[in-house]
Amino acid sequence: MINGFSFAGIPAGIKKNGRRDLGLILCDKPATAAAVFTKNQVKAAPVILGQQMIKKGLCQAVLANSGNANCFTGEQGIKDAQFSVQLVANTFGIPKDLVMVCSTGVIGAPMPMDRFASGVPQLKTKIANGTLADFADAILTTDLAPKTVEMTAVIETAQGPQTITMAGVAKGSGMIRPDMATMLAYVLTDAHISAPDLQQALTAACNKSFNRITVDGDTSTNDTLLCLAGGTGPAHIQDATSLTVFQDLLETVCMDLARQIVKDGEGATKVVQITVAGAASQIDAFRAAEAIAHSNLVKTAIYGEDPNWGRITAAAGRSGARVDQDKMDLYFGAIPLVRQGRWLGKEAEQKAAAVMKARDIAITLDLHLGKYADSFLFCDFSENYVKINADYRS
């Protein structure tokens, strides 16, 4: 448990299955806040409100529900989100401009506001003994498992060591791709840090983690990554050294959550890290890695444990990155399968196929055109992905 924060999660009746679907994060005092939201032009009502609320740089409570996205719900959706904010403010005695709401679930369905009216007071009865796990369970949709992490780091100062404690929680399984990925994610810390520094650190961490993963290439309408710094711990983030330690810890926490999301991708059986090295520019490395990670042909080959190198090199070739097919090297783990654009034969392919039987796979494409590199995490495509999404609303 992280000092300065309390949690609750209950079944409020928003979902049909009777599982937890309404959760709350409550800060002991107003916390410094920063956030990153979806780039989708179709935005859920909570995102629209959140983008305005976060400008203040403070937040004391987060209400999150699963089972209904409150998206494409028009003016009524905005009113429902505002009503939820007021409910939390009244119930917990905090200013409404310090309350953020988040939603995830089916798009287009009206919000069952009677469930919120009865559910929020129940959250108050649970908050004293609730856990981060309760909140994590309440925000799940098609996820098979909750996603949490807790880590610490130490800043060495002239006055002695200062420990930063950081906890993270996320949901996400389908509709996952860069441009914020598709998820709700919350990172909580006891450190003291200014809102501008926190926003800069969170944006950078997001770009290295949640913006480097994909499950199915779909960007959602409700993506929210929120970081709250409660300021209850000993660490003060106020100089280059402390900022570096904080940034490293934040990136590590975000990357851990991002990997958990990919591992729990809808229908996924494998997690793959594709690294494109030797690119002529950073954007070329990004484009090639992104194209490979998004390729359905690559993803199905991964599921079939087939080291189909032609699909990987072809994806790089259509990415818009500068490539030279006669210079490419391709590795599955440490096994070379292509060198200088030439297949190394059946024996090499058999060794590469053996690598693909693992749950976690690393693939490296070296373009031999420069010094730049980038990586993506993605999962395979199985028939279960189709089944999950074909039945999602039924």
Catalytic residue IDs: 182
DSSP state of 98: G
Residues 311 and 309: their CA atoms lie apart, in Å, by: 5
- The residue assigned the tokens 């409150």 is 70
How many C-beta neighbours within 10 Å does residue 151 have? 15
User: Which residue pairs from 291-294 have beta carbons closer than 8 angstroms and sit at least 24 positions apart in sequence?
Assistant: 291/315, 291/316, 291/318, 291/319, 291/320, 291/321, 292/316, 292/319, 292/363, 292/365, 292/376, 293/214, 293/376, 293/377, 293/378, 294/177, 294/214, 294/217, 294/378
> In the sheet that 360-366 helps form, which strands lie side by side, from edge to edge?
213-214, 372-379, 271-279, 360-366, 329-332, 335-339, 342-343
Nearest C-alpha neighbor of 139 from the set 51, 9, 37: 9
